[in-house]
Chain A
């Protein structure tokens, strides 16, 4: 049996679509309603409530907590303030990305790290000889993500204003409906949003309180399908979809460095002695072989290839996760790994891995599209990500 999350007693009755999806050994809703569209618009228009409990979560406590984390992750943890959150990657010795996640400094020497894959052994092995305890809290911590322009109003009323002044990538302790929670201003939607971390025993009460308070603000339980659209618009990469974690890659070519995933900004090469540093310094000097970019497919071109068979452009209704060849002047120069029709931008967009020499924004390329069982190519342009980046995401009143 796959496991259910601490919110299952609340999410199950709402899941009209019954399209449960597997996530790290748990099931979560693909969408609650029969179509995911309203759930997507909640992210951009009101507030979407996601159950993100299946994330792997580790607590790192003790005198050497900063030391072990600075050894493992690419960000500079010594400069992380208490109640600050860092988005970071971590790499193997060859500087290839193993995972990415958020790291919150809960206390002076207590951190919590989220990840997409299990990392307990990796953290423990790197902590050899250090005065630090690494605890897997994946099962002992439920998590909700409240994303959208109304999320501040909802969480503000639910917490008596505790999050009103909470800055982007900051954390605070709060109470929601009598339940103690940690709130971080983080998310995977590219919008204003928060993640709320709770003891599993209190999870149903947290859900109920948020739904109650949020009702007036259009709170909408939302599933993975809606979130996938949001994260592509935000240009956020997804492990196992946009990249293969280094320690799972059967062949070298499947591995990526942070520079190749557009995450070079998380690599603090000035920091001494972290795993992969030597390789990353070398790569930085050499320049990465690949770059990840956005791709905007030309509507006119799409219309033209479909017009040849007498059809209007057929757009994907959900995000696709596949490897789609991308060409420049007839030669394959990369591959797209995620794509969707962006409902808010009214554009067909994709995340694409391009050989570095073809990755300049503005470069004209072609993406493969299958039109009536035949492979065709639609013109597209290389762009910077994020595709969608509202002011409200980072701003604090």
Chain B
């Protein structure tokens, strides 16, 4: 073992959480190496020029909950992070109508009023309530989850803090929180609104990345996550990263390097080396061995425990729990290079609606039907889509006058009946384009290049098990003290000196960086 291969900490996986983790450890003076299997950093937060001149945010496409403390601590703007506004949500409707929620309150009110005067009033009340709840719940994102069964002072203090956050809630807010924890997003929104397109588009944020439909209980809670993003939105932490999502990863990597971290590309890890129940280093796929008293996995729980470590080094019940961890992939991604902008029949022209999100979610029934297909092993014939045109926000994403389109598609089940193959992948891509062409008929003719990613591709190419974009579903039984497994939510593992910091740990979901940061603080013995 040469000195060059000895480190204070080894981080497996150069996704955004791995990079955040490494940056915090390096900032604390540790000698850190990040090992990335691919030729490009970022994991699911990557920008790649797959078709010459056109940059795709291949998987993850918006920044929503990147923790402000990470932006501050790592000074990410100095390292190139620039988050541009993504302000409106446009929902084209089949009857040649549409619904847009704009950045401006008065404009949104006027638009909602056109559909339902009552909803226009309710929207403000709803927004206030969700804001209040998000304010109360948001600090949880920056907590190391305490163990509810433990009587240790650390865990008790954690729960006392948690209770403190909720004590500020009034009666109305507390009841709403209870409903959010138990109801489906469709039912919850039914209590407030009558406009189908509004309910559908809002409820869609409760199903993204989850193998559930808008009428499945438990989805309402995810709506709240959306509003947490809105609070930080005041600091413009919500939006589109200039240069694509890969720039988020790159800026974190630059910060990590500035603190002295080393990042090795095309350095896939074969195995974590465990001696006497203690992690001591890793074996690379190329045969090299690296040693460190701390090994951190930023991969998802399945890969972290079932691939990198041998079963014999883990307790049986833990292995069973990890095997039961729900990680079904539910979504796919279609990236397009376009010769011209889509022209929506319901709102023609190159208006400001093309600078925000476009949502194919005309009704709750539409979404639920899309889920019905997936429940029984098929991809949705008429899927839900969340679309942005990155080149409308950052012209550098495509050659002048040309565009890139990012289409998040749900549902594409990981366990497709008969399994995925290239033919089925392209059939899925065809269903997406065909659905979209009903709203923007010029789209098929404008496509210069298309990239279709199914859960199968995301698993194989990005290393996300079953293509689940959140490293495990964001359902209540897999959150907080239960993420990924009860008793191991504090970023430690049953293997001494082996830590976890991926999106499969608390809080998970989206580009938050929170898991990477909290795990680093745990390793360093610091309080968040």
From B120-128, B238-246, B398-406, the one touching the partner chain is B120-128
Closest to A118 in B: B121
Contact of B128 among A118, A122, A247 (CB under 8 A): A247
B106 x A118 contact (CB < 8 A)? no
Q: What does the 1/0 interface line of B105-124 toward A look like (CB < 8 Å)?
A: 01101100000011011101
A247 x B117 contact (CB < 8 A)? no
* Interface check B159, CB cutoff 8 A: no
Within 8 A of A (CB), among B123-143: 124-125, 128, 131-132, 135
B121 x A252 contact (CB < 8 A)? no
How far does the alpha carbon of A252 sit from the alpha carbon of B125 in the complex, in Å?
15
How far does the alpha carbon of A271 sit from the alpha carbon of B110 in the complex, in Å?
36
A252 x B170 contact (CB < 8 A)? yes
Contact of A22 among B106, B122, B131 (CB under 8 A): B106
B131 / chain A contacts, CB cutoff of 8 Å: 250
B122 / chain A contacts, CB cutoff of 8 Å: 121
Within 8 A of B (CB), among A104-150: 118-122, 124, 136
B170 / chain A contacts, CB cutoff of 8 Å: 252
A250 x B118 contact (CB < 8 A)? no
Q: What does the 1/0 interface line of A244-263 toward B look like (CB < 8 Å)?
A: 00011010100000000000
A248 x B132 contact (CB < 8 A)? no
B118 / chain A contacts, CB cutoff of 8 Å: 120-121, 124
* Interface check A2, CB cutoff 8 A: yes
Q: Contacts A118-B120, A121-B118 given; indicate if A247 touches B106 (C-beta within 8 A).
A: no
User: How far, in Å, is B352 (CB) from chain A's closest CB?
Assistant: 11
Q: How many residues of chain A are within 8 Å of chain B by beta carbon?
A: 17
Within 8 A of B (CB), among A1-19: 1-3
User: How far, in Å, is A166 (CB) from chain B's closest CB?
Assistant: 33
User: How far, in Å, is B351 (CB) from chain A's closest CB?
Assistant: 12
* Interface check A273, CB cutoff 8 A: no
Q: Contacts A120-B121, A121-B118 given; indicate if A25 touches B106 (C-beta within 8 A).
A: yes
Q: What does the 1/0 interface line of B373-389 toward A look like (CB < 8 Å)?
A: 00000000000000000
User: How far, in Å, is B173 (CB) from chain A's closest CB?
Assistant: 11
B110 x A3 contact (CB < 8 A)? yes
A121 / chain B contacts, CB cutoff of 8 Å: 117-118, 121-122, 125
Query: Would you call the interface of chain A mostly helix, strand, loop, or mixed?
Result: mixed
How far does the alpha carbon of A119 sit from the alpha carbon of B117 in the complex, in Å?
10
A247 x B110 contact (CB < 8 A)? no
Within 8 A of B (CB), among A238-292: 247-248, 250, 252
How far does the alpha carbon of A121 sit from the alpha carbon of B124 in the complex, in Å?
11
User: How far, in Å, is A126 (CB) from chain B's closest CB?
Assistant: 13
Contact of B106 among A2, A119, A120, A136 (CB under 8 A): A2
User: How far, in Å, is A279 (CB) from chain B's closest CB?
Assistant: 14
How far does the alpha carbon of A180 sit from the alpha carbon of B364 in the complex, in Å?
47
Contact of B109 among A1, A25, A119, A136 (CB under 8 A): A25
A122 / chain B contacts, CB cutoff of 8 Å: 121
How far does the alpha carbon of A78 sit from the alpha carbon of B117 in the complex, in Å?
28
Closest to A249 in B: B128
Q: Contacts A22-B106, A24-B106 given; indicate if A136 touches B117 (C-beta within 8 A).
A: yes
A25 / chain B contacts, CB cutoff of 8 Å: 106-107, 109-110
Q: Contacts A3-B110, A25-B109, A25-B110 given; indicate if A248 touches B128 (C-beta within 8 A).
A: yes
A3 / chain B contacts, CB cutoff of 8 Å: 110
B128 x A250 contact (CB < 8 A)? yes
Closest to B131 in A: A250
A248 x B106 contact (CB < 8 A)? no
B132 / chain A contacts, CB cutoff of 8 Å: 250
How far does the alpha carbon of A24 sit from the alpha carbon of B106 in the complex, in Å?
7
How far does the alpha carbon of A121 sit from the alpha carbon of B193 in the complex, in Å?
11
Closest to A139 in B: B113
A118 / chain B contacts, CB cutoff of 8 Å: 109, 120-121, 124
User: How far, in Å, is B126 (CB) from chain A's closest CB?
Assistant: 11
Closest to A122 in B: B121
B135 / chain A contacts, CB cutoff of 8 Å: 250
B128 / chain A contacts, CB cutoff of 8 Å: 247-248, 250
B117 / chain A contacts, CB cutoff of 8 Å: 120-121, 136
User: How far, in Å, is A121 (CB) from chain B's closest CB?
Assistant: 4
How far does the alpha carbon of A119 sit from the alpha carbon of B120 in the complex, in Å?
10
B121 / chain A contacts, CB cutoff of 8 Å: 118-122
Closest to B105 in A: A25
User: How far, in Å, is A191 (CB) from chain B's closest CB?
Assistant: 30
User: How far, in Å, is A95 (CB) from chain B's closest CB?
Assistant: 15
A247 x B125 contact (CB < 8 A)? yes
How far does the alpha carbon of A246 sit from the alpha carbon of B131 in the complex, in Å?
15
A-B residue pairs in contact (CB < 8 Å), sample of 18: A1-B107, A2-B107, A3-B110, A22-B106, A24-B106, A25-B109, A118-B121, A119-B121, A120-B117, A121-B118, A121-B125, A122-B121, A247-B128, A248-B124, A248-B128, A250-B128, A250-B131, A250-B132
**Which residues in B have some Cβ–Cβ distance to A below 8 Å?**
106-107, 109-110, 117-118, 120-122, 124-125, 128, 131-132, 135, 170
- Give 11 new A-B contacts, CB below 8 A, not counting A121-B121, A122-B121, A248-B124: A1-B107, A2-B107, A3-B110, A25-B107, A118-B124, A121-B118, A121-B122, A247-B128, A250-B128, A250-B131, A250-B135
**Which residues in A have some Cβ–Cβ distance to B below 8 Å?**
1-3, 22, 24-25, 118-122, 124, 136, 247-248, 250, 252
Instruction: State the 4 A-B residue pairs at the shortest beta-carbon distance, nearest first.
Output: A121-B121, A25-B106, A118-B121, A121-B118
